Structure 1
Amino acid sequence: MKKVLMVTSLILLLSGCANIREIQFQAYAVGVGIDYKDHEYHVVLQFLDFSNVAKTEQGKSDQPVPVWIASGKGRTVEDAIIEIYHGIQIPINYDQISLFVFGTSLLEHRLEKTLKSLDTNFNIRQTGWVYGTEEKVEEVFTTEVPFNYPYSNSRINQPEFMQQQDSTVPAISLQELVYQFNEKTKTIILPRISIAEKIVKRGQEKLPVTIFDGAYIMKDKTLKGYLSQQDLEGYIQVNNKAVRSPVIVVEGIEGKEDLVQIEMLKPKVKRVIDRDQNGVRIGLDINISAIIRESSQKVVLSPRIKRMIKEKITNEVYSSYLKSLQIGGDIYQFEDFMYRFMYEDWKETMKNKDFPMLTKENIEVKIRPLKSINKINSGIKLPLE
């Protein structure tokens, strides 16, 4: 009798595992793409075959890791996803999502509703990176990664790691986007990605790859416009998430110029906002290290080189500020800073529509230290400024 009771108890305890589905029988969504066209949401889910990813980790695969996508349309985001459910054949698992791609039309007309939909969807994690694009989402999700690595190794999936080689507009997560979108004084700088076909080749075969292509500027729940990578060069070089930014300065007189390749490292930028009898003054304090990476042997470390670097950084930082101001943005977040820490001053400036302007004179750049890998520069110490 005791044995019967024990067996019955074990059966009851283990019955909870009856509905467990093995992980290999699920479709793992790793990317979500959404656009809005012809009054409908177009949703694309990107899936990764993790069995093939495991093979690439064990040894180099001779074949590209396949990427699966499924698409659906609907009056709402959820309605479009339900259409995907009708054809995907196996249950979808959302635990591995690391990428969100929004089309330009969605950013212009339906971003707020889309963010609310994603924010209230308990299946979707908000830790993935977010980008905007003018490309077709299906084409973005089917670009290739060199050497047959899985798509999860692409630069847009690992933006922080790639910042160490060449910094660009820093990526933001969906969670950050939701938070910033609801702050009326925040300027959102959403990286834009596009597809390039001339950079990477397999033999002579061109491979489409994703690249960073500037950013969309949003403020007060409105898309203000787009700024190219060149427009944002100053911001890219000095924002606090930058790691390494190559810069070229021209040394010498006309006809005998030498291009000096500079590597700027780990900048620290701080907003400076003061009030005096003349009103509110805004400025930037920028601290940055620099290394001369490439130059002719005639170029040596000198205070003049240092001044040239400072002047170039100042000009580019100021140019990026003006470009964002022209379309209604504030990439250095002066207004948000005043709103949080100088509320009465902010309220007065907004009431009078007299928000202070940044000037070049109020951009302070400090380069310490300036080093060089050139042997002829070894041991030279520049005076502190």
Structure 2
Amino acid sequence: MQKKLFLYVGCLLLALAGCSGVKEIQYETYITALGLDYSRGEYILYTQAMNFSNTSKQEGGSGLEKSTTILIGRSKGKSIQAALSSLEQNATMPLYYGHVNTILLSKNVLEQKLPSVIDFIGQNPYLRYNCWLYGTNADIKEVFSGEGFFNLPSLFSILHRPEPLIKNNFFMPIEKYNRFISKYNEPAGSYIIPSLEIKKGKFLKNKKPMDIVTLTGGYAISQQKYKGWANKQDLVGLKWFSKDAINIPLSLFKERVSVIIENPKGSINVLNGRNPSYQLNVKTHAVIVHNEENISVNKIKKELAQQIKNQIVKTLNKGDEMKVDLLNISEKPYRYHNKTWDENTINHFKKELVKDINVKILIDETINYKR
């Protein structure tokens, strides 16, 4: 019995000894975002990190009492890995990349070094493909230092959590890296990487302007090439063909009427001919939430349909200017009609190939005032 007891206790001690190599969370630096720039032959790497307690304390009320600390790292190197190694050698606590939630790329990187970034992310075992992907022409460290509402950390901003914005006020698709990499090598269509900048003056904290990270537009990538940047006013047509659009607010008649578009359904019909041509269709429901002068529903419906058409045409015009299919229309014949036309014919997309834009709107209800 004594031998059996001794053997049992020994096994328990061996099991406990196996935990000796586990790292305690308070002794590591958790990187939440990774930024990359390129200038004068060198990569400039930025990291955004937060103390574990800064995030965990948001479960209680104390997290709103004072601003959370944001730690930003910066280093240079001839390669991305060299810049990363340089930063690690100067850190006082080990850097951990398993919690990177956002990747932010400068315009220079998107123009010149995107293949190198793709290789780096693919080879790094800690960087996951479900990170949010953004671009910027601003100083990356300023974007990483953007303020959150009520002293909440950056984890509660569009940089890390764009879902509430997408759900409640959809403007353009904000997608994760895996979606980008799945379309990067496609021989037709395009992909839009959302761009971020710091905007001041829209919100005040203690009477001082806040530095808020804001969506400003997007960078177009097509056939593994950078095609340029478009501001969000020129990309307004994107939302009518996105499956993520749930609520879209619009103003009509010089803001005298406000409506909410719900779950728009955009579709593309490919028309036969020597070259592929297209008919664009949008079907949607709308709710009138403000009607200052009691304008008729039929008049609102007609004006709303025209505004949707105008927004689609505006994005088509910008695409022609940039020589890229911003609405990703040419992807449809590539996927479903590739025996009818070759890739060169499909990729020769111009706005003139859109022969018709049909918009059908059903106004379900108008808002009722509380009594």
Which residue pairs with 1:17 in the alignment? 19
Change in CA separation of 1:19 and 1:311 when aligned onto 2, cut-off 3 Å: same
State the distance in 1 between where 2:13 and 2:278 align.
71
Are 2:270 and 1:273 equivalent residues in the alignment? yes
> Which amino acid in structure 2 is aligned with residue 25 of structure 1?
Y
State the distance in 2 between where 1:162 and 1:179 align.
24
**Contact 1:314-1:363 at 8 Å conserved across structures:** yes
Are 2:280 and 1:284 equivalent residues in the alignment? yes
> Which amino acid in structure 2 is aligned with residue 114 of structure 1?
V
Where does 1:26-65 land on structure 2 (aligned, <5 Å)? 26-60=28-62, 61-65=64-68
Please, which runs of 5 or more residues in structure 2 have no aligned partner?
Answer: none
State the distance in 1 between where 2:325 and 2:345 align.
18
Where does 1:154-233 land on structure 2 (aligned, <5 Å)? 154-233=157-236
Deviation, structure 1 residue 181: 1.4
**Contact 1:167-1:237 at 8 Å conserved across structures:** no
State the distance in 2 between where 1:71 and 1:109 align.
20
Change in CA separation of 1:358 and 1:293 when aligned onto 2, cut-off 3 Å: farther
Identical residues among aligned pairs (%):
24
Which residue pairs with 1:253 in the alignment? none
Which residue pairs with 1:324 in the alignment? 319
Deviation, structure 1 residue 75: 1.1
Which residue pairs with 2:338 in the alignment? 343
Deviation, structure 1 residue 104: 0.5
TM-score normalised by structure 2 residue count? 0.92
Deviation, structure 1 residue 191: 0.5
**Contact 1:35-1:106 at 8 Å conserved across structures:** yes
Which residue pairs with 1:296 in the alignment? 292
State the distance in 1 between where 2:347 and 2:233 align.
30
Three-state SS of the structure 2 residue aligned to 1:6 is: helix
Change in CA separation of 1:93 and 1:4 when aligned onto 2, cut-off 3 Å: same
Task: Give the counterpart of 2:365 among 366, 371, 378.
Answer: 371
What is the CA deviation profile of residues 165-206 of structure 1, one whole-angstrom value per residue up to 9, with x for unaligned ones?
321221121112222212221301110111101111112211
Are 2:7 and 1:5 equivalent residues in the alignment? yes
Three-state SS of the structure 2 residue aligned to 1:213 is: strand
What is the CA deviation profile of residues 98-138 of structure 1, one whole-angstrom value per residue up to 9, with x for unaligned ones?
11110010001001111111111111112110110011111
Three-state SS of the structure 1 residue aligned to 2:294 is: coil
Please, which runs of 5 or more residues in structure 1 have no aligned partner?
Answer: 251-256, 376-385
CA RMSD of the aligned region, Å? 2.1
> Which amino acid in structure 1 is aligned with residue 111 of structure 2?
E
Deviation, structure 1 residue 91: 1.8
State the distance in 2 between where 1:38 and 1:161 align.
38
Which residue pairs with 1:379 in the alignment? none
**Contact 1:310-1:367 at 8 Å conserved across structures:** yes
Which residue pairs with 2:258 in the alignment? 261
State the distance in 2 between where 1:352 and 1:104 align.
28
State the distance in 1 between where 2:96 and 2:66 align.
25
Three-state SS of the structure 1 residue aligned to 2:13 is: helix
Which residue pairs with 1:150 in the alignment? 153
**Contact 1:130-1:174 at 8 Å conserved across structures:** yes
State the distance in 2 between where 1:134 and 1:295 align.
39
State the distance in 1 between where 2:55 and 2:218 align.
31
State the distance in 1 between where 2:207 and 2:228 align.
37
**Contact 1:306-1:370 at 8 Å conserved across structures:** no
State the distance in 2 between where 1:43 and 1:267 align.
40
Change in CA separation of 1:352 and 1:314 when aligned onto 2, cut-off 3 Å: closer
Where does 1:64-143 land on structure 2 (aligned, <5 Å)? 64-143=67-146
Three-state SS of the structure 1 residue aligned to 2:330 is: helix
